[in-house]
Amino acid sequence: MKLDHLGLAVKDIREASRFYSKSMGWKERSVIFLDPIQKVNVLFMADENGFVYELLEPTDKDSPVSRFLEKRISLYHLCYAVENLEKKLEELTTKGFYLISEPSKATAFGGRNIAFLINRDNLIIELVEQ
């Protein structure tokens, strides 16, 4: 697995973009777009080394991201790129991770399949199939 990006929950995506641009030097790598499945607005940014951050702004109170913001948690997930999503899901679920989101096509990744898992420490990881 290769770390692909960090997902950050934000209240206001435009404000967060301005903040991270000024404070961290991050640059926008996409336009802001809606992911209706996750019920979020999304913006990808990158730091000076090219590492990618996905800013996620909930568009609905029942978006998974809303719960994180209510608890004042901004790190939403770690995303890993994988060659075979089904195989990696099977492997991780036998090693202590629990599937919390069945594989589905992702707007943010051009329709490639993603899935979310969680472990006993409440670490959420996203897998994106390459």
Answer yes or no: is pLDDT of 73 > 90. Answer: no
Question: What's the domain count of the chain?
Answer: 1
C-alpha 121: how far from its chain's center? 18
DSSP the chain: -EEEEEEEE-S-HHHHHHHHHHHH--EE-S--EEETTTTEEEEEEE-TT--EEEEEEESSTTSHHHHHHHTT--EEEEEEEES-HHHHHHHHHTTT-EEEEEEEE-GGGTT-EEEEEE-TT--EEEEEE-
First CA to last CA distance, the chain: 11
Range of the domain at 124: 2-129
Q: What tokens were used for 68? A: 């994180």
pLDDT in tens, 93-129: 999 999 999 999 998 899 999 999 999 888 999 999 9
Could you tell me the pTM of the whole model? 0.88
Of the two residues 114 and 71, the one the predictor is more confident about is: 114
Query: Which CATH number fits the domain that encloses residue 97?
Result: 3.10.180.10
| Cα separation, 129 vs 38, whole angstroms | 17
pLDDT in tens, 31-63: 999 999 889 999 999 999 999 999 999 999 999
